[in-house]
Amino acid sequence: MPEIERNQKTMMIFSSDLDKVMAAFNIAIGALSMGFQVNMFFTFWGINVLKKENMSLKNKSLMEKMFGLMMPKGVTKLKLSQMHMLGMGTWMMKKRMVAKKIALLPELLELSQSMGVKFIACEMTMDMMGIKQEDLIDGCEIAGAAGYLEEAEKSNYNLFI
Amino acid sequence: MPEIERNQKTMMIFSSDLDKVMAAFNIAIGALSMGFQVNMFFTFWGINVLKKENMSLKNKSLMEKMFGLMMPKGVTKLKLSQMHMLGMGTWMMKKRMVAKKIALLPELLELSQSMGVKFIACEMTMDMMGIKQEDLIDGCEIAGAAGYLEEAEKSNYNLFI
Amino acid sequence: MPEIERNQKTMMIFSSDLDKVMAAFNIAIGALSMGFQVNMFFTFWGINVLKKENMSLKNKSLMEKMFGLMMPKGVTKLKLSQMHMLGMGTWMMKKRMVAKKIALLPELLELSQSMGVKFIACEMTMDMMGIKQEDLIDGCEIAGAAGYLEEAEKSNYNLFI
């Protein structure tokens, strides 16, 4: 039996801060360019990254509606972890990135998907926050801790972001 | 001499945010279930996770008393990193977890201990915050950076949480 | 061809919180003492760690001046991630560390440099924030995601801090 090549890159995306998520996607795209398989497991606040912008809050319980209203829907709504300043800081930073031709998050997400990143949504988080498969962007797998750890075990690079 | 099997999982728990610590314990329990040795090294704010709920502030210096009063004592006192909302958000999230039969932190801690997780308290942090061995829950080892790095070196999975 | 020994330690320093950066340097010094090569890649807020204290804001655009004014210049200006309390908490913690003979950040930085740590500044962050090589302390390399990932690939220990 040949030994498994443990060279995948796996990131657990726990945060939905704009800056941290951007760092994660830049790492992902770098690693994909070098030919590695990249797995991104979105848990807790990180699940917000995978939400459809037009995710519906119909047919949700009161508490699920509250979670839905209070948390960002998708990559265009994320905020900086610092200097958000009621939106001004986040807006300024994005403006600066455009001026400097630095790719913004929606482009990074699209690019990494076209390069074959594997997005995995955390099952327990979805259950906890009342999020269904149809609330997430296309192409996501769903798994629990065991599924995540299987990918981690095939990886020589594991981050918690 | 046979080569060491480097397949342990080691996490440095720096944070004492309820949500991050829950993620860490869910990873730990998953990895323990798969038969791996799991080491959790609690440093800086993370040391709060290991505190006894009834930790005494007697015989502490003024500054140690202040640290003791301002920081959470044990897993039942931790707060969400976001949406804590003076306690309401944290309370809501816990309520939701109970409804969804998701294990809360005290159960996760107990379960991981019964499965054989290795808890290591950071020596320098204890010294800095004036915490003694008797202030911590039973079954913790105490070590410094060198002790932590020895475990990390036997691991193929290292996170900073 | 002999196989590469993948035993370096690589940390991506994303944060510029005093407490997290201190943890990173303590890990670095521990690993350097054990004879490992240690790479620290400073990105996003982390770039503040590498700034010269007397970094000039002359010849910067308006937005670059704003970034420069709002963000800490170098290790002596960093704040705790929690309990900063308008500076009092950070001051108290530093005072406590001195009393306990725990090394403060400027010493940790100097020590790790003398032990041969490799500091890498993130090119994209420098571009985004308008930071030039001469704004950074001596002895930093500059690289992008690809350069970072090359070091990560030679490492058996990768953290995101």
Give the pLDDT mean for B132-139. 96
Task: Report yes or no: A125 and A47 within 8 Å, Cβ to Cβ.
Answer: yes
Angstrom distance (rounded) from CA C113 to CA C117: 5
Among chain B residues, the shortest Cα distance to C85 is held by B70
pTM, 2 dp = 0.95
Of the partner residues B66, B145, B160, the one whose CB lies closest to the CB of residue C161? B160
Question: Which pLDDT score is estimated for C89?
Answer: 87
Residue B115 burial (CB count, 10 A)? 13
Question: Quick one: which of C103, C115, C111, C110 has its CA closest to C137?
Answer: C110
CA distance A140 to chain B (A): 20
Q: In angstroms, what separates the C-alpha of B159 from chain A's closest C-alpha?
A: 6
Average pLDDT, chain A: 93
Contacts of B152 in chain C (CB under 8 A): 157
Q: Torsions phi, psi of C19, nearest 5?
A: -65, -45
From chain C, the residues in CB contact with A97 under 8 A are 128
- Cβ–Cβ below 8 Å for A159 and C159: yes
Residue A61: CB atoms within 10 A of its CB come to 11
The residues facing B7 across adjacent strands are none
**Whether complex ipTM tops 0.90:** yes
Structure letter (DSSP) for residue B2: P
Contact across the interface for B159 and A156, Cβ inside 8 Å = no
Element (H, E) at B149: helix B145-153
**Interface touch A34/C156, C-beta < 8 Å:** no
- Which chain C residues contact residue A22 at CB under 8 A? 44
In contact, C148 and C142? CB cutoff 8 Å? no
Chain B residues closer than 8 Å to C27 by CB: 12, 145, 148-149
pLDDT tens column, A44-80: 999 999 999 989 888 898 889 888 888 999 999 999 9
Cα separation, A45 vs A129, in Å, equals: 10
Instruction: Give pLDDT, residue C1.
Output: 47
Nearest to B128 among C34, C82, C100 (CB): C100
Cα three-residue angle C2-C4-C5, rounded to 5 degrees: 120
A58 touches chain C (CB under 8 A): no
A61–chain B nearest CA distance, Å:
11
pLDDT tens digits for C146-161? 999 999 999 999 999 9
- Judge contact between C119 and C50, C-beta under 8 A: yes
How close does chain B come to C116, measured CA to CA in Å? 18
Mean pLDDT of A9-35: 97
Binned at pLDDT 50, 70 and 90, residue B1 comes out as very low
User: What's the rounded Cα separation, in Å, for the pair C150 and A157?
Assistant: 12
Q: Is B159 helix (H, G, I), strand (E, B) or coil?
A: strand
Q: Which of A71, A145, A158 sits opposite B157 (nearest CB)?
A: A158
The C-alpha of C119 sits at a distance from chain B's nearest C-alpha, in angstroms, of 19
Instruction: Say if residue B62's pLDDT is above 60.
Output: yes
Give yes or no for a contact between C76 and C90, defined as CB atoms under 8 angstroms apart. no
- Is the pLDDT higher at A161 or at C59? A161
Name the residue with tokens 């809050």. Answer: A57
Which of A128, A146, A159 comes nearest B97 by C-beta? A128
pLDDT value at A2 more than 60: no
Q: Residue C83 region, left (φ>0) first, then alpha (ψ -120 to 50), else beta?
A: left
Task: Judge whether residue A144 has pLDDT over 50.
Answer: yes
In a mutational test of the C interface, the residue from A156, A158, A160, A161 whose CB has the highest number of chain C CBs within 10 Å is A156
Confidence of residue B97 (pLDDT cuts 50, 70, 90): very high
- From chain A, pick out residues whose CB is under 8 angstroms from the CB of B159: 12, 158-160
Q: Residue A4 — very low, low, confident or very high, per pLDDT cuts 50/70/90?
A: low
Which residues in chain C have Cβ-Cβ distances shorter than 8 Å to A81?
A: 45
- Helix A88-99 and helix C62-70: axis angle, to 10°? 130
Convert A118-151 to b/e letters by CB count within 10 Å (16 or more is b): bbbbbbbbbbbbbbeeebbbeebeebbbebbbeb
Tally: H helices and E strands in chain C: 6, 5
**Residues of A with CB below 8 A from C45's CB?**
19, 81-82
User: SS3 of C96, please?
Assistant: helix
Among A128, A145, A156, the residue with its CB nearest the CB of B100 is A128
Q: pLDDT confidence of B85, banded at 50, 70, 90?
A: confident
In this prediction, the residues of chain C whose per-residue pLDDT falls under 50 are 1
Q: What is the 3-state secondary structure (H, E, C) of chain A?
A: CCCCCCCEEEEEECCCCHHHHHHHHHHHHHHHHCCCCEEEEECHHHHHHHECCCCCCCCCCHHHHHHHHHCCCCHHHCCCCCCCHHHHHHHHHHHHHHHCCCCCHHHHHHHHHHCCCEEEEEHHHHHHHCCCHHHECCCEEEECHHHHHHHHHCEEEEEEC
CB A24 within 8 A of CB A104: no
Residue window 11-30, chain B: list those with CB within 8 Å of chain C.
12, 14
Structural tokens at position B155: 């691991």
Residue B2: per-residue pLDDT: 54
- Amino acid in position B116: G
Average pLDDT, chain B: 93
- Tokens describing residue B51: 């505190």
User: CA of A62: which chain B residue's CA is closest?
Assistant: B96
pLDDT score at B16: 96
Q: What is the pLDDT of residue C97?
A: 92
Cross-strand bridge partners of residue A133: none
Chain B hits for C102, Cβ within 8 Å: 124, 127-128
pLDDT-based confidence at B159, cuts 50/70/90? very high
Residue C69 near chain B (CB below 8 Å): no
Tokens of A161: 């972001």
For chain B, the chains sharing at least 3 beta-carbon pairs closer than 8 angstroms are: A, C
C-alpha span between A22 and A28 (Å, rounded): 10
Q: What is the largest CA-CA distance in chain B?
A: 57
Cβ separation A12–B23 shorter than 8 A: yes
